[in-house]
Amino acid sequence: MSTHIPAHDPLRALDPACSVVVEACAGSGKTWTLVSRLIRLLLDGVPPGQILAITYTRKAAREIEERLLHWLGELAVADDAWVGEFLALRGAARSDAQIARARGLLETVIRARPGLTINTFHGWFSSLLGAAPLSAGLGGMQLAERTARLRDQAWGGLMRRAGRDEDGELAQSLRWLLNQTGLGGTRALASALIDRRAEWEAWQAACGGDLDAVLAHLAQCFGADGADPLATLFEDAALRAALAEFARLLGQGTDAQQRRAVTLEKALGLADAAGFHAALRAELLTKAGLPTAFKPGRAMEKIGAAERTQQLFDACVERLLCCAGEVEDRAAYVLNSHALRAAVAMLDAYDQVKRAAGTLDFGDLEWHAARLLADPQTGPFVQARLDARYTHLLLDEFQDTNPLQWQVLMHWLDAYAPDQVQPRVFVVGDPKQSIYRFRRADPRIFAHARTAFAERFGALDLRRNETRRSSPAVVSVVNALFGAHPVFEGFAPHTTAQHGLPGAVTVLPPFGHDSEAASDSAAPAEAEVRDPLGTPRPAAEDSRRRREADAMCARLKAMAGRQTVRDPHTGQPRAAHYGDMMILLRRRTGLAVYEAALRAHGIPYFGASRGRLLDTLEASDLQALLRFLSAPADALSLAHVLRSPLFAFSDTQLLRLTGDGGSLWGALRHASDDAACTRAAALLSGWLAASVRLPVHDLLDRVFHQGELLARYAATVDAMAWPGVRANLEAFIELALRVDSGRYPSLPRFLDELSRLRDEDDEAPDEGLIQGEDPARGRVRVLTVHAAKGLEAPIVWLADAIARPRADSGPRVLLAWPPGDPAPTHLSLLHRKDSLGSVRQPFIEAEARAAAREDANLLYVAVTRARQFLFASGVSPSRGGDADNWLSRLAEATATGEGGMRDEQGGAHLAFGDVDEACEAPASSLPAAPVPDMPALPPIGERRPALALTDEQRWGTGLHAWLEALASGEPPPARATGFDAARWAELERTARGLVASPALRRFFDPAEHLWAACEIEFVLPDGSLGRIDRLVEFDDALWVLDYKSGGDGVHAQAYVDQLTRYADAVTAIRPGKPLRAALLRADGRVDILI
Amino acid sequence: MSAAGLELLSLPPGPGLFGQVARILIGRHGDALADTDLLLPSMALAQPLRAALCAAAGRALFMPRLLTPDLLAQRWQGDHPTDPHSRRLLGLVAQLRRMGWLGEADLWSVARELIDLADALAEVPLQQEAELAATFARTHALHDSEALSLEARLVHAVWLADSTGTPGRARACAQALERAAAAATRPLTVLLDTLDEPPSWLNAWAARAPVLCLQVARGEGDDTLSRALAAAWPPPGQDAGALWSRAPSADDAAALRARVRLVAAQSLEQEAACAADTVSAWLAAGRRRIALVAADREAARRARALLERRQVLLADETGWKLSTTRAAATVDAFLQCLASDGYHRDLLDFVRAPYVAAGLERETRARAVAAIDDWVVRRNHVDGLHALLVDAADDLAGGPAAGLIALLADAAALMPTGNAPASFWLDRLLAAIDALQARDAMLGDVAGAQVIALLEQLRADSQGVALALSFADWRQWLNGEFEQALFRDTEIDSPVVLTPLAATRLRAFEAVYVIGADREHLAPPRPRGVLGHEGLRRELGLPDADAQATRLREDLAGLVLNAGDIVFSWQAQRHGEANLPGADLQVLDLMFQRAGVGSAIEAAPPLAEPPALAVIGVSSAPSLPPERVPQKLTASALADLMDCPYRYFARRVLHLGEEDEVEETLGKGSVGEKVHAVLLAFHTAHPRLALSSPEILADDLRRRFAEAFAGAIARNFQEHAWADRLQARAAAYVDWACAREAAGWLFEAGEQARSLSLTLPDGGALTLEGRIDRIDQGSGGRALIDYKLRAADRVKKAQQRDDLQLAFYTLLEGEAVSDAAYLALDEEVPAELAQAEPQVAAEALQSLLQRVFPALRAGAVLPANGDEAACQYCGMRGLCRKDWLA
Ligand code: SF4
């Protein structure tokens, strides 16, 4: 043990001998630590194949790999001092031996088989599945990333199944659901288990095996198997007594109280439970199910019953509420009994669809991985097949792990035989940055793992609260913000290694309505209707957001080229450029307004483009074009294309083409007087013809080329937007390449696939990345907070900071799975927020707590992206919003942070260090992209359609083959294509006849000649080539034979010429003997030509 | 040279290779060259070899006989039978099914894996089952694993079947070569392009005639390039120490560096453009023999398209899966149509397929396709092949579309309906292709001809296999065959070849561009599945991962040494993730750095800007010539006008509607129509509700709803959603209606068409047209009701967005109207949402119309000013170009 390192030493995390769990705050250099540990392991001689590193996204995995290889590359060629320093920084010895070893690591890693594994959980799971035994039945399964279509098919299957048996249980359940929750609700409920496949299986197993067991369990849990709550209420003597007393007392009170007393007494006299309940509810609860107002008042005080009546009222209300809860629980059970039945059937249908398509989805991946590893037979099998008995496990972003992944991990560790070396683990993550609840991440697992690994591997508990990123200004706001936040339990104040980094936090007051704009679009007088030609419909929300966006853009613009920032790489002061700025949004709503403002201010930016490629106008232009090419009668698509820059028709031109009411395409083709129309008609006709056979990618390439598409788009959009438009056009063509090079391409299928892609949340194609930026200028990045995880910037602007988090809503699975438990402790379906009942209250509250914590985490992630300058802004909500929102919390924290102050409008500001140093903006240095000055090339290559062989040629070729085989003593040639057995036999007879014929025998029987060769090739000094069918040497002469299958007289002269050439060649190679040449005909005749 | 025996000679790779081979051949055989055989790894090497021989001899010369192992095996195949792949597959699947060991697994893919494995083992001597099982257990270090011994058993079974039964292709080939060797008389020279052991059949040959193996392998390196390259990539078998200790001289490194460029691109487009530019520049500089090595096929395809724009055609040696051709897609479109029972999207894909009904003239065909499209939408045909074939044929009779449908009907009728053997399925499919009049057209192009040939081949190969397959099963098998068959466009003849890395072995090029040289594409293949275990592979004598990696590196080394200039490029990021260059390239670059000549990695040149054109303006504020100003206005047209004048222009002036689409489930629109019809019939049947009891009325209404939806429910169970809900609420509706009647509103009429002509101040006319859902008569006037199949709050929201529908109806109906309201029906109890002061609203509307339409005639523009809500689902976004308007 390296005892010389004290436990709090940060380098302890790198010690290969220790298992550690590191909780590391934002900016503390998690990747640095992880990759450094990898290097320490390698230095220690751990074979790369024994290392498994898992992180959360593929992007992160690639980054780790890149960093590792980059460092190893540097180590391989750097001088001793550099390598020594590198090692020392990471707590490794600087010895010569160590340096030599460090230099060799790159090649060690590259050559290792099996190699070092850096993967995501999903990637790792899919390699586990790939190693499954044949008997597991997973062979040939492909991972389907897109499942919307499969789900559609499954739903169709489910409906057909229900329709076949209208009276069956499934059909009845579905009808119940359809009636209660509508089509959308039913589908959502029925599909709810698809994304929770693994949890469901675990839950089902825990309940005892099947749906009935689950329902029995739930019935008990919801009290649905007990007595009817209304009946119990009806028979509740205590309640009756209390009500009677209450009524009696009230009877002595005010008029209203007396009226109440009468009603209650009447209720007590009712004979049916339901009526009794309804009457009480009506009297004691509001419509929304809350207690009505009750004040004993003077009247009761007077008779000394104030306290008693209040007591009685409260007791009755409580009993009633309790009953309401029980009723709701029963209702929840009924819903679950129907919905789970439907959901299980849907799961079944979905499985069938997937099996038919040979695909697995992500849920299956986890589930099968868990199954494989949990099985005592297949678990070790998979390890053995992968040849992977890791001795070191590194787990990154551990706060994003979900319960199932944790299970799989545990199964994997359990598969280590007790006599095997137990692995060391390295866990790093930050529960404060857990923002993937919607992907089922459970940050509680982090704390659980800390204990579990401490017990199992003696893992040390390390906590890092020092950031290497942010200025003290940002850190002090972070501390004020989260130190005081109740849901942020366990927060330890951060420190920063950037002691001297200047910085500032500015919180702008909320933006309200523009007073001027309001008077501008003053509502027209009552009776007046808006004139749509002159006045657009007024939009309330927009004007506030527009003002916020304007203020933001103005501020950012003012900073570009003027505000001094420290370069993140060199640490040197320089003027900020747009590339230093990042705009963060909680959600996409309103995004268009921010982007429009950026454009209007002339600020270059990268859009928050995830998944939006197909929604951009330029991509929709291309889709319209393809739609038209696939269905020329589609006039709207044609009009769209004509309006796009490709043809840039004006509205007037469209008016003219649609004048006669005929088809637009017809009108276009006949409008020969207009040059634009002629061009469009010609190009479109050409593409229409090409579209039938060309793959979509090649078709699009033609469109780009012949339509001068890029140039025309460039001439249409402004310079600011052009790089983005271009990137999208290119991304579209890349998409076509990818989508359409699959199995069975066609234009309609491609278009179907695009519309499907558009609807897939996760897999919708991204916008293109803008290339070739001037680094001195850069672009502002606009990102959602989720997308910004792992990124940083000197200047961060958190916009829309008053927006409320999206509440969990709609049909979903309610799940409780305590970390470390092998199975969930509760799983049921929830339809809506109302009628929650009482049994599930704790789970729902836990969900709400987790949501609140995640919301705070999201803010933590947003704020900690900033190195130096942080801004926050938001718009005041239209209706009395919540006072507790990000902006107000930030304003509070900024005002109370060190040196912070509040301004009158509700904003706040805090600064650290000299934030106003002046700095010269470097000159923009964008090198103009060279227009390649290609000398004109002659056309290269040509298409030569293969000519089908004529029958005669085929016969000739066959004859050659036979004669050669017979002459050289080889087996008969294989039957050539184009011959049936009979004709081939005829050919054989002919060949054999020739060989044996008296006239020819001497050419084929080795006994009758000195030497012979078949199909012999020769080359002449000039490089020309020939092939002689048969060359035979006799004592007196050399014979050149040419087999000829055609009729007489054809090309006679050509044959003579060719044979003469052959003869000359042979004479040149084998001088000395006279040379004869002959044509051998199929009928056995020999024409001696020379 | 005469003595039999096997001699192994090692030659260094490089441009001098063939010269050396030629000198050796001439030196050994002189004039007897023609009596020897020369075995080349591929025929692509024959041409340079001939030239080298000719040059070495300096005179005319007979060539040795040039062969490849495949060609030699073919000559010795004789009439020994082989079991074609497709047939083996069917047989094995039949067997696996019988055994039932593998449960629900996809047997096709298991069987494919096992057959590949038998092929891989074709040259490995057969082991006993127990012995093999022991090998499995030993290499996996896993005992008593049932799963593992099952695999050993399966492997053994296919292996045994292959070696004792009719052999598969790989084994047949090996056996033919053994036969050739056993009859050998001529001296043989073999050129080996990998470092694998010479195959064993050569020993048999060597026993009868001399055999010379020329193995191309890098040695110490005696020239600058090979020395520098050896420092980066030590030749195999040498224990070379770490890169640090292998530093070459700066001169050597610089010489290599001058020939190699490593280019990092930022996107596919940039990489492809760089490739196309580089190749063009080489061509312009007079280079010819150029290779574009397609490590990444997609990037290569993009580069090829860019080169074709410049009229540079590439000879494609890579080959594509036959399944990626339009010809295969056409066959599949037909099968898919059957599989999905005429699902409309599959049908529309099918009728657009090329080749089908090739006789039809293009225009006619386009009209036929359009007619079918139109029919599908009109009929709302979702699926149902039989109904389609019958009804469409009827409806479209006489037009060009009928012919197309008839072809499909004929072809579909040919296909079996139950299980059948593969050969029978194929026979029917070929007949169906004839019936579709597609065969000749398919034979007319390369891919089509290959598809037909494949189908015929498969039919022949699967003859006599009794395994009966369902349609889905057979299709899966066929898909597998289409995936496996390679399509190569052989018609292009060009000095620039597009080729895979392995095919460049020993070939010399003037310049080479390797596209997609990243770590993912430039990596040794990773075997998975049964033979994925390294230890097992080694035990069985199969190449392990190390051998594969060595082979890859040697291929790269050979390429570098054989090419005048070489560029490797890759995309430094893909899908937003870092993408590293191939590992060997990283080491190569580090060698440059170690030698002090600097990294060779450069950024790809930025993409060129397109030529500048004059600014193209976009405007979306049309004004109309007076004669195009509409003279009719409906309520929904008015709504368009209010939402956005440009949308009104596009829809109501240009008459561009969104294409109707097939509704796979009843849309709101169709449900609404049904509900309107039911309510009208109900009220017409019961003009005075008070005359019946509410129970009877509710029953009647329920029955009417049930009838209206019965058909839809039979087609799709989910239509219960509205049907059940409406029935459940029938009583509430009746209660509401009775109460209304009791309050004095008597039902008068429903679904009333009205029209009203307005004379406008400029003398123009405007006719308002509309259909009023319901009119009630009360004591103080008439009440208009408009049914909305929505929840009350949604209706209310719409009402607040200056909605003019009720005003419009009031105007139509005239002064008698005293009340107007929406009735929201998607509520437990119907909810009325009334228009405040309908007559005032109608007047305001009238005055608006009197201003707007004359203004339009006077040239007022129709601006694109929809707000976010209007634009969200607007189909005219592509026309108004709002996204780009400032
Ligand atoms: S997208 Fe918006 S602006 Fe354009 S036509 Fe439609 S509603 Fe009008």
Cα–Cα distance measured from residue A412 to residue A399, given in angstroms and rounded to the nearest whole number: 19
Q: Which pLDDT does position B501 carry in this prediction? A: 95
ipTM of the complex: 0.94
φ and ψ at B771, to 5 degrees?
-125, 125
pLDDT, average across residues B214-231: 88
Cα–Cα distance measured from residue B211 to residue B201, given in angstroms and rounded to the nearest whole number: 11
Q: Tell me the pLDDT tens digit for each residue of A857-881.
A: 999 999 999 999 999 999 887 666 6
The Cα-based distances of B288 to B281, B314, B496, B564, B826 in angstroms read 11, 12, 7, 11, 74
Q: Is the CB of B870 inside a 6 Å radius of any atom of ligand 1?
A: yes
pLDDT, average across residues B729-734: 95
The residue length of chain B stands at 886
* Amino acid, single-letter form, for residue B586: Q
In DSSP terms, which residues pair with B316 in a beta bridge?
Answer: B498
**Between chains, do A533 and B101 touch, taking CB under 8 Å as contact?**
no
Nearest to A276 by CA among A218, A318, A323: A323
Confidence of residue A523 (pLDDT cuts 50, 70, 90): very low
Residue A642 alpha carbon to ligand 1 centre in Å: 17
Nearest to A625 by CA among A611, A616, A636: A636
- H or E segment and range at residue B161: helix B146-164
Q: Is the CB of B784 inside a 6 Å radius of any atom of ligand 1?
A: no
Selected from 3.40.50.1820, 3.40.50.970, 2.60.40.3120, 3.40.50.300, the CATH number assigned to the domain covering B225-319+492-603 reads 3.40.50.300
Name which of A174, A945, A974 is nearest B77 (Cβ-Cβ): A974
Q: Tell me the pLDDT tens digit for each residue of A700-738.
A: 999 999 999 999 999 999 888 888 899 999 999 999 998
- Please report residues of B whose CB lies closer than 8 A to that of A632: 366, 370
- Please report residues of B whose CB lies closer than 8 A to that of A73: 586, 590
**Closest residue in chain A to residue B339, using alpha carbons only:** A356
The minimum-distance atom of ligand 1 relative to the CA of B881 is 4
Residues 6+ apart with CB under 8 A from B622: A651, A652, A655, B646, B649, B861, B862
Q: Which pLDDT does position A5 carry in this prediction? A: 42
Residues 6+ apart with CB under 8 A from B790: B824, B825, B826
The Cα-based distances of A7 to A25, A90, A460 in angstroms read 18, 15, 8
Indicate the range of A420-424, A614-618, A619-623, B674-678 predicted with least confidence.
Answer: A420-424
φ and ψ at B490, to 5 degrees?
-95, 5
State yes or no: pLDDT of A776 exceeds 80: no
Shortest Cα distance from B691 to chain A (angstroms)?
A: 31
Residue B652 alpha carbon to ligand 1 centre in Å: 14
Name which of A378, A710, A752 is nearest B345 (Cβ-Cβ): A752
pLDDT, average across residues A1031-1052: 77
Residue A960 in contact with residue A1030, Cβ under 8 Å?
A: no
Residue A962 in contact with residue A973, Cβ under 8 Å?
A: yes
Burial class (CB in 10 A: 0-12, 13-18, 19+), B308: middle
Residue A587 in contact with residue A803, Cβ under 8 Å?
A: yes
φ and ψ at A303, to 5 degrees?
-95, 10
Name which of B75, B142, B266 is nearest A771 (Cβ-Cβ): B266
Domains B6-79+175-216 and B225-319+492-603 share a fold: yes
- H or E segment and range at residue A714: helix A709-716
Q: A780-784 and A581-585: which strand pairing?
A: parallel
pLDDT, average across residues B673-699: 94
Q: Tell me the pLDDT tens digit for each residue of B456-512.
A: 999 999 998 889 999 989 999 999 999 999 988 888 999 999 999 999 999 999 999
φ and ψ at B121, to 5 degrees?
-95, 5
Degrees to nearest 5, angle at CA A197 with A196 and A200: 80
Q: Which pLDDT does position A676 carry in this prediction? A: 93
Q: Which pLDDT does position A1015 carry in this prediction? A: 86
Confidence of residue B542 (pLDDT cuts 50, 70, 90): confident
Q: Tell me the pLDDT tens digit for each residue of B276-321.
A: 999 999 999 999 999 999 999 999 999 999 999 999 999 999 888 9
pLDDT, average across residues A771-787: 78
Q: Is the CB of B646 inside a 6 Å radius of any atom of ligand 1?
A: yes
The minimum-distance atom of ligand 1 relative to the CA of B867 is 2
Indicate the range of A717-731, A890-904, B652-666 predicted with least confidence.
Answer: B652-666
Q: Tell me the pLDDT tens digit for each residue of B31-88.
A: 889 999 999 999 999 999 999 998 998 888 899 999 999 999 999 988 888 999 999 9
State yes or no: pLDDT of A1 exceeds 70: no
Q: Which fold has domain B324-487?
A: PCRA; domain 4 (1.10.486)
Confidence of residue A16 (pLDDT cuts 50, 70, 90): very high
Q: Which pLDDT does position B753 carry in this prediction? A: 94
Helix ranges (H only) for B603-693 are 635-643, 645-648, 668-685
Alpha-carbon Rg for chain A in angstroms: 41
Map out the domains of chain B as residue ranges.
Answer: 6-79+175-216, 85-166, 225-319+492-603, 324-487, 629-871
Q: Is the CB of B647 inside a 6 Å radius of any atom of ligand 1?
A: yes
Residue B880 alpha carbon to ligand 1 centre in Å: 6
Nearest to A1080 by CA among A1017, A1012, A1029, A1008: A1029
In DSSP terms, which residues pair with A117 in a beta bridge?
Answer: A52
Burial class (CB in 10 A: 0-12, 13-18, 19+), A1041: buried
How many CB atoms neighbour CB B420 within 10 A? 19
Cα–Cα distance measured from residue A856 to residue A837, given in angstroms and rounded to the nearest whole number: 28
Cα–Cα distance measured from residue A72 to residue A65, given in angstroms and rounded to the nearest whole number: 10
Residue A200 in contact with residue A817, Cβ under 8 Å?
A: no
Residue A549 alpha carbon to ligand 1 centre in Å: 23
Name which of A621, A697, A772 is nearest B305 (Cβ-Cβ): A697
Nearest to A360 by CA among A141, A65, A624, A50: A141
Q: Which pLDDT does position B495 carry in this prediction? A: 94
SS3 B738: helix
A114 cis-preceded (ω within 30 degrees of 0): yes
State which of B619, B642, B649, B871 you would mutate to test the pocket of ligand 1, scoring each by most atoms of that ligand within 8 A of its C-beta: B871
Name which of B51, B277, B284 is nearest A935 (Cβ-Cβ): B284
Cα–Cα distance measured from residue B590 to residue B588, given in angstroms and rounded to the nearest whole number: 5
How many CB atoms neighbour CB B693 within 10 A? 12
Q: Which pLDDT does position A519 carry in this prediction? A: 44
Q: Which pLDDT does position A921 carry in this prediction? A: 57
Degrees to nearest 5, angle at CA A998 with A995 and A1000: 45
**Between chains, do B642 and A113 touch, taking CB under 8 Å as contact?**
no
Helix ranges (H only) for A223-272 are 229-234, 237-250, 255-269
Q: Is the CB of B1 inside a 6 Å radius of any atom of ligand 1?
A: no
Residue B875 alpha carbon to ligand 1 centre in Å: 8
Which 8-state DSSP code applies to residue A1013? Answer: E
Q: Which CATH class is domain B629-871?
A: alpha beta
Annotated binding-site residues of A read 24-31
State yes or no: pLDDT of A7 exceeds 50: no
Alpha-carbon Rg for chain B in angstroms: 39
Q: Tell me the pLDDT tens digit for each residue of B396-454.
A: 888 889 989 999 999 999 999 999 999 999 999 999 999 999 999 999 888 999 999 99
Residue A135 in contact with residue B101, Cβ under 8 Å?
A: yes
Cα–Cα distance measured from residue A753 to residue A747, given in angstroms and rounded to the nearest whole number: 10
Q: Tell me the pLDDT tens digit for each residue of A969-1002.
A: 888 888 887 788 898 899 899 889 888 888 888 8
pTM: 0.91
| Chain CA centroid to CA B74, Å | 36
Residue A565 in contact with residue A574, Cβ under 8 Å?
A: yes
High-pLDDT (> 70) share of chain B, % = 98
pLDDT, average across residues A533-542: 77
Q: Is the CB of B871 inside a 6 Å radius of any atom of ligand 1?
A: yes
Nearest to A744 by CA among B488, B447, B342, B370: B447
Q: Where are the beta strands (DSSP E) in A6-106?
A: 20-24, 51-55
- Please report residues of B whose CB lies closer than 8 A to that of A939: 311-313
Structural domains in chain A, CATH included, are 10-140+363-464 (3.40.50.300), 148-358 (no CATH), 503-523+540-608+776-912 (3.40.50), 612-758 (1.10.486.10), 951-1088 (3.90.320.10)
pLDDT, average across residues B759-781: 93
Q: Which of A98, A359, A609, A636 to mutate to test the interface with B (most CBs of B within 10 A)?
A: A636
**Closest residue in chain A to residue B311, using alpha carbons only:** A939
pLDDT, average across residues A927-946: 70
pLDDT, average across residues A937-965: 83
Q: Is the CB of B712 inside a 6 Å radius of any atom of ligand 1?
A: no
**Between chains, do A648 and B728 touch, taking CB under 8 Å as contact?**
no
Confirm or reject contact between A969 and chain B (CB < 8 A).
yes
**Between chains, do A698 and B305 touch, taking CB under 8 Å as contact?**
yes
What's the mean pLDDT when you consider all of chain A? Answer: 87
Q: Which CATH class is domain B6-79+175-216?
A: alpha beta
**Closest residue in chain A to residue B801, using alpha carbons only:** A537
Burial class (CB in 10 A: 0-12, 13-18, 19+), B143: exposed
SS3 A393: strand
Q: Is the CB of B639 inside a 6 Å radius of any atom of ligand 1?
A: no
Which positions 1050-1069 of A are in contact with B (Cβ < 8 Å)? 1065, 1068-1069
Confidence of residue A930 (pLDDT cuts 50, 70, 90): low
